[in-house]
């Protein structure tokens, strides 16, 4: 038996899009959200809100996920979910 698998996982019965970039998802990332190959592993370092410096939380919109300020709607601070490479440039 090789490692080739043709069986679809339950979550991929319809086209699931990466919550970061919108490309076809390859699986679930470490936030249990759909991610493409580039975004299967997202930084676990929690960024702080650009507006109020609170530790941010992951929210899912209709298609995309993003970091949101925990006190939304009092504060509208958001950040994109980043790959570890992108994270180095910003955080």
Q: Which residues between 37 and 76 bind Zn ion (CB under 5 A)?
A: 38-39, 49, 51-52, 69, 75
When binding is defined by CB under 5 A, the residue of 16, 77, 81, 82 that contacts Zn ion is 77
* Cα four-point dihedral sign 52, 70, 45, 19: negative
Is residue 26 involved in binding Zn ion (CB under 5 A)? no
- Which residue, 34, 89, 35, 76, is CA-closest to 67? 76
Contacts to Zn ion by CB under 5 A? 18, 20-21, 23, 36, 38-39, 49, 51-52, 69, 75, 77
């Amino acid at each position: 038996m090789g490692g080739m698998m043709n069986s679809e996982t339950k979550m991929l019965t319809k086209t699931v899009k990466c919550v970061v970039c919108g490309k076809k998802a390859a699986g679930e990332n470490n936030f249990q959200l759909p991610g493409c190959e580039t975004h299967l592993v997202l930084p676990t370092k929690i960024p702080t809100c650009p507006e109020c410096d609170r530790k941010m939380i992951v929210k899912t919109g209709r298609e995309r996920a993003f970091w949101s300020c925990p006190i939304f709607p009092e504060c509208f601070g958001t950040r994109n979910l980043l790959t570890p490479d992108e994270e180095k440039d910003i955080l």
